Amino acid sequence: MNEAVLAPKKTVFSGVQPSGNLTIGNYLGAIKNFSRFSEEYKTFYCVVDMHAITVRQVPAELRRRTYETLALYMACGLDEKKNTLFVQSHVPEHAELGWILNCYTMFGELSRMTQFKDKSAKHAQNINAGLFTYPTLMAADILLYQTDVVPVGVDQKQHLELARDIATRFNQAYSDTFKIPEGFIPKETMKIMSLADPTSKMSKSDPNQNSVVYILDSKDDVMRKFKKAVTDSEACVKYSEDKPGVSNLMSIYRAFTGKTFEEIEREFEGKGYGDFKLAVGEACADGLRPVREEFARLMADKAHLESVMKAGAEDAHHYAMRTMSKVKRKIGFVY
């Protein structure tokens, strides 16, 4: 038997909050990339419901979105037999390690997190401690599985760096306990921008519905939103930092068609933004159609979704316990 056969698989972990309808930012920036790891890595993809409650949720909606996010994972090509698909709150070790890591994370570090600052500004009535310690729970998610690679959008980079710092600090205080994870943040799709304001991130919590394309939007909605997308007055399809609207649309078009920026520029030479926006809308709606159809099929069988989350939690729990027993022994808990 050769070495490669004997070597353990590397591990991938990522998560998505069931806190709103998922956008093409979530899709292109994260979920679409998840399946590329399924064959060669041990993959854990988690619906992070405990992160979602850092902002008030309507209970029935949170429950529904938890099923929906799992179904979307599967509709986006994640086979439950090749990936461990589960819900964060079903594996109590996440909360347990989250607490422990709080004691190895500095107040100053958490205070510097830009997402905390943004969310505190947005939810000024509810700046709870969970919102503040959100990144330590995220570090626990990742470190619990001895993760090598974390596919995310660029907005999670700061959290990921903190997870690395916490792991390094813990390893130095005791001895090697956690793997130090690396991000997988492909440049082309790391930040899909809002269609209404291309200088800010497309976000599922944006109240302006026209700025966001949801994975489950109908073709009519997708076309309407792209038609309204903010561009500029030049009417020239060219990728450039000072043309954020057009460049964002080009990134989306590229992600759905596989064409390069040069090919896109040539395709729309001498044509106006109207034609271009139509083409982006078509490509996006066509790309999402199979996801939408598969999603509808999966949501019709809740019992199957429940069996997937149950099996996923059992598998995840098995790995999580191994790390927890190591952690508890090292810090001196009677175990």
Residues that bind ligand TYM (CB under 6 A): 13-17, 25-26, 29-30, 48, 51, 138, 141-142, 150, 152-153, 155-156, 159, 190-192, 201-202
**Shortest spacing between CB 127 and ligand TYM, in angstroms:** 17
* Amino acid at site 128: N
Nearest to 135 by CA among 118, 158, 167: 158
Say if residues 152 and 185 touch (Cβ distance below 8 Å): yes
C-alpha to C-alpha distance for 249 and 267, rounded to whole angstroms: 14
Whole-number minimum distance, CB 87 to ligand TYM, in Å? Answer: 12
Minimal distance, residue 151 CB to ligand TYM, in Å: 7
Q: How far apart (Å, rounded) are the C-alpha atoms in residues 31 and 184?
A: 12
> Nearer to ligand TYM by C-beta: 15 or 281?
15
Question: Between the CA of residue 168 and those of 143, 149, 156, what are the distances in Å?
Answer: 11, 16, 19
Task: Point out which residues pair with 11 in neighbouring strands.
Answer: 42
Which residue is it, tokens 């069931």?
A: 18
Which CB atom, from 52 or from 308, has the smaller least distance to ligand TYM?
Answer: 52
Q: Residue with CB nearest ligand TYM?
A: 29
Neighbours of 238 (CB within 10 A): 14
CB of 166 to ligand TYM, least distance (A): 13
Which is nearer to ligand TYM, 25 or 287 (by Cβ)? Answer: 25
Place of tokens 């106006």: 272
Question: Measured from the CB of residue 59, what is the shortest distance to ligand TYM in angstroms?
Answer: 19
Cα separation, 284 vs 239, whole angstroms = 19
Cβ neighbour number for residue 59 with a 10 Å cutoff: 8
Of the pair 69, 257, the CB lying nearest ligand TYM is at: 69
Q: CA angle, corner 56, sides to 112 and 13, nearest 5?
A: 60
Beta strands 10-16 and 84-87, pairing class: unpaired
**Active-site residue list:** 119, 201, 204
CA 128 to chain centre: 23
Minimal CA–CA distance to 50: which of 67, 61, 66, 64?
Answer: 66
Q: Count other C-beta atoms under 10 Å from residue 228's C-beta.
A: 12
16/236 with CB nearer ligand TYM: 16
Q: How far is the CB of 320 from ligand TYM (least distance, A)?
A: 13
State the Cα–Cα distance between residues 115 and 139, nearest whole angstrom.
15
Q: How far is the CB of 15 from ligand TYM (least distance, A)?
A: 3
Closest to ligand TYM by CB, 17 or 133: 17
Residues 6+ positions from 19 with CB-CB distance below 8 Å: 51, 52, 55, 57, 62, 65, 204, 205
Nearer to ligand TYM, 155 or 221 (CB): 155
